[in-house]
Structure 1
Amino acid sequence: MKLGMLTACLPDQPLEQIAAWAAGQGYEALEVAAWPAVGDRPFTASHLDVSSFGEREADSTRALFDRHGLTLSSLAFYDNNLHPDPDERKAVNDHVAGCIDAAALLGCPTVGTFVGRHPGRTVAENLRDAEEIFPPLVERAGEHGIKLIVENCVMEGWHPDGYPGNLAYSPELWEWMFSLGLYLNYDPSHLIWMGIDPVEALRPYVDRIPHAQAKDIQLFPERRHRYGWPGKAVEREDPFDVGWWRYRVPGLGDVDWRRVVDTLYEGGFDGVLSVEHEDPVWGGTEDRVRTGLQVAHRTLRPLIVA
């Protein structure tokens, strides 16, 4: 197992600077943000432009990682593959395909995305749509020896009422994804607020997890008594502000990382555990983000066999 980080938390820094800093802090791998250059959604970045990616770009990227002794663990493009607008949906699907092609040139083992959801259709209808969209992408990835991985992020802000906007939030849906040839980019933080034990959920599926993310979560149960499980309803300026929990860097929330890492090892996981920094306390400036990444490293590094 290696300890890595997702680059999206430093959107304004070039990949060269992130790689140098991460290696200097003892990180061993990078999960590289590969969203399109346009757009300003939080926690996204474009550190690799797959729209114009060829052998020359692949050579320079591999050289950068070799220079700093880093592993490229995954290309990250987490967007709505079931977007209700047909043109937007096609653009997302096409960009996933572009990430697969770039990963093939780089020898990168995984590409990460979301299933997504059309909020105007039932879950069952969305699953039938996904069963048409994903097989060609899975086949394209498989031809290059790449695994298409889906994070179990709930993406509640994509649904008008705060319900799950990414249909990958439970083990039941993981099994459905696996039947399509998809894999899981496991993140324990989302399971905790859903009321799912992250260790019990993890244990049966480690062999379908080639990559994992390390994000923590801090719950405020007394606030849940006011808002209920879906969160704020009357005043919710930020669609992702549920009101009774917030993300933290590992070590500052409620995830039992000792048990999570131990369960990954017990199940034979030998991939990258990648820190996903979305902590509002250690955010806002690049210096604070870097401090948060240092806290995460100090928390997780002792748990990972050197």
Structure 2
Amino acid sequence: MKIGFYTSTFNDRPLEEVVDFAASAGFDAIEIDVGGHIKTPDKVRSAVALARERGLFVSSITYFGNQLDADNAKRKDLRSRTSEFAQAIGEAGVPILVIFPGRNDEGSDEANYDDFAAYTNGLIAETATSGLIFAIENWPGPKDNFVGTTPKGYEELFKRIPDRRFGLEFDPSHFLRIGVDPYQALEDVKDRIAILHAKDTAIDPAVQQAVGYHGKGWWQYKLPGLGLLDWTKFLRQAVSYGFDGTISIEHEDAAYGWPGKDLEARKEGERVGLSYLRNTLNKL
């Protein structure tokens, strides 16, 4: 199993500097953020080459955006650009493109699921030659209402997108804060996991009691091992299902310089996450 990190934590730094750090710190892999480090489809090949020159496996490339945007022009533009990126990423030999389903607030749940499924099935057909895998992360979005980001949502999407080239970037931290058991959720989708995000969540019961679920400040994203998740249990569970892919740290821990604050603190956070995950894997 490879350990990498998602480059969005360093979107203020050039990719060359980021991959140099990843290699020197002992990471095996890198997950590259389009918005911060690639920008346009024609830059995919050079970005991937930069990482590979440092001996890093490019586990995935992640393209942020609401693929169901209610604004027709924005949706068409994002989807067109996603197709261009998919072609370039497949040609570069990167195995996974991570996207976000989003939601059209003007449509029903069923319409949203039907639309995203039809679109994704089209992407899968377009990239048959490269065999690119499309994965969605279970981030529920800024309004906590993105489709396909809960166990029920997975069920709705998988019955509409049966191809195994559609899967998940499974992030347990989001489930911890929305009240879903991450271990059961992993069990339910064990044959559709493309990549794991290593991020944890801490919850302050006193603040939660004071402000409730819709209040602020009662939960925080943390580096793996600094929140509520039992990582030994979680990773042992993933291994038992045959998962042997990449664990990608998504560093959003405010105690280690996120977002965009002290650079050395952010780097130290990545090192802390790497050390913890290495030690955990060694005990499995």
Q: What's the TM-score, normalizing by structure 1? A: 0.84
- Whether 1:177 and 2:157 are equivalent positions in the alignment is yes
Pairing 1:102–2:77 present: no
Taking a change above 3 Å as real, the CA distance of residues 95 and 226 of structure 1, as seen in their structure-2 partners, is farther
Deviation of the 1:214 alpha carbon: 0.6
Q: Is 1:33–2:19 an aligned residue pair?
A: no
One-letter amino acid matched to 1:274: S
Unaligned 5+ segments in structure 2 are: none
The SS at the match of 2:134 is strand
Paired amino acid for 1:122: S
Q: Which residue of 1 aligns with 2:113?
A: 127
SS of alignment partner, residue 207 of structure 2: helix
Q: How does 1:64-213 map to 2 (within 5 A)?
A: 64-155=50-141, 157=142, 159=143, 164-179=144-159, 180=161, 181=163, 182-213=166-197
Distance 1:52 1:305, change over 3 A: same
Deviation at 1:169, TM superposition (A): 2.1
CA-CA distance at 1:301 after TM superposition: 1.0
| Higher mean displacement: 15-24 or 61-70 | 61-70
C-alpha contact (below 8 Å) 2:151/2:188 kept by paired residues: no
Which letter does structure 1 place at the counterpart of 2:116?
A
Q: Deviations over 1:225-256 (max 9, x none)?
A: 33332x23xxxxxxxxx432111111211111
> Per-residue deviation at 1:121?
2.9
Pick aligned residue for 1:219 from 180, 203, 212: 203
Secondary structure at the residue paired with 1:200?
Answer: helix
CA RMSD, 1 decimal? 1.9
- 1:37-70 CA-partner distances (Å, limit 9, x unpaired): xxxxxxxx2x1233334xxx62x44543333111
- Counterparts of 1:245-256 in structure 2 under 5 Å? 245-256=219-230
Question: Is residue 2:46 matched to residue 1:48?
Answer: no
Q: Determine what percentage of the aligned residue pairs are the same residue.
A: 30
Q: Which runs of 5+ in 1 are unaligned?
A: 36-44, 233-241
Q: Verify the 8 A CA contact 2:232 2:281 in the aligned structure 1.
A: no
Paired residue secondary structure (1:150): strand
Question: Within 2, Cα distance between the matches of 1:92 and 1:261?
Answer: 34
Residue 40 of structure 1 corresponds to: none
Q: Contact 1:177–1:183 at 8 Å: present in 2 too? A: no
Structure 1 match to 2:264: 287
How many Å apart are 1:305 and its aligned residue? 5.1
* 2:2 counterpart of 1:12: no
In structure 2, C-alpha distance between the alignment counterparts of 1:177 and 1:110, rounded to whole Å: 18
Structure 1 runs of 4+ with >3 Å offset:
60-63
**Structure 2 partner of 1:298:** 275
Letter in 1 for 2:190: V
Q: Is the 8 A contact 1:50 1:102 kept in 2?
A: no
**Deviation of residue 184 (structure 1)?**
0.7
CA distance in 2: counterparts of 1:66 and 1:14, whole angstroms? 16
Aligned pair count reads: 276
State the one-letter code of the partner of 2:21. W
TM-score by length of 2: 0.91
Distance 1:244 1:143 in 2: 47
The amino acid across from 2:266 in the alignment is V
1:120 and 1:222 map into 2 onto residues whose CA distance is: 37
* Residue 268 in structure 1 maps to residue 242 in structure 2: yes
